[in-house]
Chain A
Amino acid sequence: MSVRLTFDPFDPGALLSEFSRGRSETGAVATFTGIARAEAGATVALELEAYPGFTEAEIGKVADRARARFGLDDVAILHRVGKIAPGEAVVFVATAARHRRAAFEACDFLMDYLKSKAPFWKKEQGPGGARWVEPTDQDHADLTRWEET
């Protein structure tokens, strides 16, 4: 399992190749790549702040839960921090499982967590200045899909 933060742009395709290599019993790899939106010129850049060490550890706890819940073989998460330009990849999640359903669902579960609860602080810089962003109601609603009853 790998959870990492990076200040540098990354190539999701290269990460997928690396993650998939040598998995003769895995059967299914699902990935998600989130890309910074320009919002029709309203966002010039996105700035993400993390708490190094704490942020990776908190994401790691949720990745462990995903691994247990969906019976994953492996998980990889790479998240950008610092200034991110529209069109650049912000986050990459890869999940490996014996069968596709678990891989898809675990990827979806991890993204709902990462978008709503992960320890990041997000600032959007637009033409009129910068503002701190908090999760949307939709992000919170997405997370409730995974509550175990």
Chain B
Amino acid sequence: MARVLLFGRLSDVAGWRERQVDSPFLSALRAELSGEDAALGEALAGKGVQVALDQVIVRGDAALNAGTEVAFLPPMSGG
């Protein structure tokens, strides 16, 4: 089970901030989330949204291990 975290406007779109999702790959996790909630799927694929696995930014697909922390980060606003 990967631990999924949503930040900024993404958690407003989804109505949750954190949950467990059972997916072997990041691509499968995206498909699973957008299957459940098309608006969230679209927001996650939106311009400037980055993904961090265990707090490291990744690009493209990646394998997820049990307990991997997957964070979806919309464009950062600065403080």
Contact = CB atoms under 8 A, between A and B. Distances in A.
Interface stretch (B2-10, B19-27, B32-40, B60-68): B2-10
Contacts of B76: 117-121
B52 interface: yes
B5 to A, nearest CB: 7
Contact of A117 (B7, B73, B78): B78
Please report whether the interface of chain A is mostly helix, strand, loop or mixed according to DSSP.
mixed
Nearest to B48: A134
Interface residues of B, number: 15
A34 B7 CA distance: 23
Nearest to B56: A54
B58 to A, nearest CB: 13
B79 to A, nearest CB: 5
Contacts of A122: 77-79
Interface stretch (A7-15, A16-24, A45-53, A68-76): A45-53
A105 interface: no
A132 interface: yes
A116 B78 contact: yes
A145 to B, nearest CB: 15
B74 to A, nearest CB: 7
A83 B8 CA distance: 14
A53 B78 contact: no
Given A121-B7, A132-B8, A53 B55 contact: yes
Interface of A: 34, 48-49, 51, 53-54, 57, 79, 90-91, 114-122, 132-135, 139
